[in-house]
Amino acid sequence: MGYTLNFNLIWRHFDKLSGGLLLSLELALIAIAIGIVIGLVLAVWYVSAGRVVRGIIAAYVEFIRNVPLILLVYLVFYGLPTVVDLAYSAQTSFVATLALYSGAYLVEVFRSGLEAVPRGQIDAGKAIGLTPWQRLVHVRLPTMMRITLPALSNTFISLFKDTSVASVISVPELTYGAQWINFNTFRIVEVYLVVTAMYLVTGYALLFALRLVERWYRTAR
């Protein structure tokens, strides 16, 4: 083992990593924001829809869940523009892909959350004369949010890690930054040690922050 660790070159190019980390967070944040909208709309639609709509939504969920993310990224970035006349940047393409990807997972999360709202609460909403829409907004969704918030946090942390896939289409996020430093300095061990630590620390910080949010939400009044 003649290898000596030398982090100097890593620190010299650290802007690639810090900038990459911020972009990773940004990608995950935008993707989950869109994913939440997709997931909520489809989940609410699913639980009140007939068989055809349910089938279509289930097909979307199953497709996304059974195709590796990296393939979806290739499909949207390289595949789609050759079929339809669309031009978009790698970053836009990746955010769209990740949003569709998280949306599929969140449909399942929200759907099971909606189904877990106790029947008695819905009865209570009916009994005071709330319309179905009012019951959804004021009874079912708030309770569903309490039930699903931990799963939502976990999804977000997964998405944060999944942003590393964007490196395959040269989006300059954290993993891409690591690759760039590796190619230009050949300090492969050092750079991946640093990047691993950055993913870990950020992941834990997110988890901690989200658990605080969950606790606040449980006791908010």
Partner 1 sequence: MANSSNNSPALLDIAEVSKSFGSVEVLRSVGLQVAKGEVVTVIGPSGSGKTTLLRCVNFLESYDSGSIRIDGKEVGFRDGGARQRRSERDLAGMRAETGMVFQGFNLFPHLTAAGNIMLGLTKVRGKSTSEARAAAEHWLGRVGLAHKADSLPAELSGGQQQRVGIARAVAMEPKILLLDEITSALDPELVGEVLAVVRSLAEDGMTMVMVTHEMAFARDASSRIVFMADGSVSAVGPPKEVLAAETTNERLRTFLARFRASHF
The footprint of partner 1 (CB under 8 A) covers 118, 120-121, 123-132, 134, 138-139, 142-143, 146, 219-221
For partner 1, the closer CB: 29 or 122: 122
For partner 1, the closer CB: 121 or 158: 121
For partner 1, the closer CB: 12 or 126: 126
Q: How far is the CB of 117 from partner 1 (least distance, A)?
A: 10
Q: How far is the CB of 40 from partner 1 (least distance, A)?
A: 17
The residue type found at 221 is: R
DSSP line for 196-218: HHHHHHHHHHHHHHHHHHHHHHH
Q: How far is the CB of 134 from partner 1 (least distance, A)?
A: 5
Q: How far is the CB of 211 from partner 1 (least distance, A)?
A: 18
Residue 143: closest CA among 161, 119, 178, 177: 119
Residue 77, helix vs strand vs coil: helix
Task: Measure Cα distances from 90 to 27, 47, 77, 165, 173 in Å.
Answer: 12, 35, 7, 12, 11
For partner 1, the closer CB: 15 or 123: 123
State how far the Cα of 90 lies from the Cα of 101, in Å rounded to an integer. 16
